[in-house]
Amino acid sequence: MSVPASVPSAPRDEIDGATLAAAQRGERWARRALVQTYQGRVHALAWRMLATAGRRTLAEDLVQEAFVRIFGALPRFVPGGVARLSTWILTLATRAVIDELRRRRPPMTSLSVVEDDLSGGERPDRHSEQRSLARAIARATATLSPEIRAAFVLRAYHDMELREIAEALGVGVGTVKSRLWRARHALQQHLREVR
Amino acid sequence: MSDRSETKTETEQAPPRLDAEWLAAWSVPEPAPDLAERVLDHVDTVMTMMPDANATTPIPHGSSVALPDRRGLGLAVTLVAMVAAAALVLALGPWWRGWRGSSGVESPAAAVVVGPTPAPDPSSEPPGADGAPLVVRTIPRDAQVWIDGKPVAGPSPFAVSRLVRGTHRLTVERDGYLPVERMIEGGSAMEIPIELSIREVVLVLSVDPPEAMVTLRALGAQQEDERVEIGSDGDRHVLRREPGVRYEVEARAPGYVTRRVPLPVGGQADVPVTLSLAPDPEDPRARARRSRRSSSHRSPDLKDPFGKRPGKRASSIDDLFEGSDGSADSSSTGSSSTGSDILDLVDPYASGSRSSKKAKSATLRVGVGGGRGPARIHVDGKYVGITPLLSVELPAGRHEVTASWPDGTQERRAVNLTAGGRGTLKFE
**How high is the ipTM of this complex?**
0.76
Interchain pair B384, A122: CB under 8 A = yes
A49-96 tens-digit pLDDT: 887 645 667 788 889 889 988 998 898 888 877 778 999 999 999 998
Q: Is B378 on the interface with A (CB under 8 A)?
A: no
Note the pLDDT of residue A140. Answer: 80
Residue B379 to residue B362: CA distance in whole angstroms: 13
Q: Is the pLDDT of residue A38 over 90?
A: yes
Note the pLDDT of residue B157. Answer: 53
Contacts of B317 in chain A (CB under 8 A): 188, 191-192, 195
DSSP single-letter state for residue B395 = E
Residue A14 to residue B273: CA distance in whole angstroms: 42
Residue B365 to residue B249: CA distance in whole angstroms: 32
What is the mean predicted confidence (pLDDT) over A123-133? 60
Note the pLDDT of residue B109. Answer: 30
Interchain pair B267, A54: CB under 8 A = yes
Interchain pair B314, A195: CB under 8 A = yes
Residue B321 to residue B122: CA distance in whole angstroms: 51
What is the mean predicted confidence (pLDDT) over A149-163? 89
Q: Is A134 on the interface with B (CB under 8 A)?
A: yes
DSSP single-letter state for residue B177 = B
Amino acid at B349: Y
Residue B215 to residue B66: CA distance in whole angstroms: 59
Q: Percentage of chain A surpassing pLDDT 70?
A: 75
CB-based contact B409:B350 (threshold 8 Å):
no
DSSP single-letter state for residue B198 = B
Note the pLDDT of residue A37. Answer: 92
Q: Is A88 on the interface with B (CB under 8 A)?
A: yes
Residue B196 to residue B239: CA distance in whole angstroms: 16
Amino acid at A57: T
Strand (E) positions, B65-212? 111-112, 132-139, 144-147, 150-155, 159-163, 166-173, 180-186, 190-195, 200-208
Residue B311 to residue A195: CA distance in whole angstroms: 12
Q: Is B390 on the interface with A (CB under 8 A)?
A: yes
Note the pLDDT of residue B93. Answer: 47
Q: Percentage of chain B surpassing pLDDT 90?
A: 0
- pLDDT beneath 50: ranges in chain B: 1-16, 51-74, 93-130, 296-358
Interchain pair B23, A167: CB under 8 A = no
The nearest CA of chain A is from the CA of B52 a distance in Å of: 10
The nearest alpha carbon in chain B to A120 belongs to B29
Interchain pair B61, A179: CB under 8 A = no
Residue A115 sits at φ, ψ, to 5 deg, of -65, -45
Note the pLDDT of residue A42. Answer: 93
Residue A19 to residue A13: CA distance in whole angstroms: 13
Residues 64-83 (B) with a CB less than 8 A from some CB of A = 64-71, 73
Residue A137 to residue B24: CA distance in whole angstroms: 10
The nearest CA of chain A is from the CA of B373 a distance in Å of: 8
Q: Is B259 on the interface with A (CB under 8 A)?
A: no
Residues ≥6 apart with Cβ < 8 Å to B190: B122, B132, B134, B135, B184
DSSP lists the bridge partners of residue B399 as: B415
Residue B317 to residue B337: CA distance in whole angstroms: 31
Tell me how long chain A is: 195
| B contact test, residue of A128, A145, A148, A193 with most B CBs within 10 A | A128
Note the pLDDT of residue B223. Answer: 57
Q: Is B152 helix (H, G, I), strand (E, B) or coil?
A: strand
Residues 14-33 (B) with a CB less than 8 A from some CB of A = 14-20, 22-32
Interchain pair A10, B46: CB under 8 A = no
DSSP single-letter state for residue B256 = B
CB neighbour class for B421 (10 Å; exposed up to 12, middle 13-18, buried from 19) = buried
Note the pLDDT of residue B87. Answer: 64
Interchain pair B20, A128: CB under 8 A = no
In B368-382, which positions are buried (b, 16+ CB within 10 angstroms) versus exposed (e)?
bbeebbbbbbbbeee
The nearest alpha carbon in chain B to A63 belongs to B39
Q: Is B272 on the interface with A (CB under 8 A)?
A: yes
Q: Is A63 on the interface with B (CB under 8 A)?
A: yes
Interchain pair A43, B15: CB under 8 A = no
Contacts of B383 in chain A (CB under 8 A): 122
User: Residue A171, Cβ neighbours under 10 Å: how many?
Assistant: 18
Strand order in the sheet with B422-427: B389-395, B361-368, B422-427
DSSP codes, A135-163: HHHHHHHHTS-HHHHHHHHHHHHH---HH
Contacts of B266 in chain A (CB under 8 A): 53-54, 113, 116
pLDDT band at A114 (very low <50, low <70, confident <90, very high): very low
Contacts of B391 in chain A (CB under 8 A): 125, 127-130
Residues 323-342 (B) with a CB less than 8 A from some CB of A = 324
CB-based contact A120:B27 (threshold 8 Å):
yes
Note the pLDDT of residue B311. Answer: 35
Q: Is B55 on the interface with A (CB under 8 A)?
A: no
**Among A121, A168, A179, beta carbon nearest to B268:** A121
Q: Is A191 on the interface with B (CB under 8 A)?
A: yes
Note the pLDDT of residue B101. Answer: 34
What's chain B's Rg over C-alpha atoms? 29
Amino acid at B307: G
Residue B333 to residue B347: CA distance in whole angstroms: 10
Tell me how long chain B is: 428
pLDDT band at A97 (very low <50, low <70, confident <90, very high): confident
